Amino acid sequence: MTDFNIGEFVTVEREISLKPNTTNTYKHTGVIVKKYLKDYVERTVYWFADEYDYVVSIPEYGGDYIVMNDSCIIKPINLSIINKLYIISKFGDWWFKEYKSIYQELLIKALKN
């Protein structure tokens, strides 16, 4: 089990069944915007399960979210600051207001480079 942080860019994979007996696999690159500790019962009864659910904003949905556990997060990715800003530039205006701390941190890093 891996612990990921808010503001971290990751590659995620999820399987969606749109028709009976079929499964499509989708990969996305996004940024973790929220992290929720699962409730106590779920963490103790299912002690082998992931402790957190992650909310990941992805550009394909204009910054809207997909919620997943750490088993769906393939890996954190190391992108240049320009690529990170490019990814979030595809998000809607609402995203920058909601997650201004993530956005501002990226801008500060860009200015330092």
Q: Tens of pLDDT along the chain (113 residues)?
A: 578 999 999 999 888 887 788 888 889 999 999 998 877 777 677 665 678 889 999 999 999 999 988 888 888 999 999 999 999 999 999 999 999 999 999 999 999 97
Backbone phi and psi for residue 35, each to the nearest 5 degrees, phi listed first: -145, 120
Q: CA-to-CA distance for 101 and 29, rounded, in angstroms? A: 20
Write down the pTM of the prediction.
0.84
Q: CA-to-CA distance for 26 and 8, rounded, in angstroms? A: 20
Pick from 55, 44, 61, 40: nearest CA to 4: 55
Pick left, alpha or beta for residue 62 (phi over 0 → left; psi -120 to 50 → alpha; otherwise beta): left
Q: CA-to-CA distance for 68 and 48, rounded, in angstroms? A: 16
Q: CA-to-CA distance for 6 and 60, rounded, in angstroms? A: 19
What's the pLDDT at 48? 59
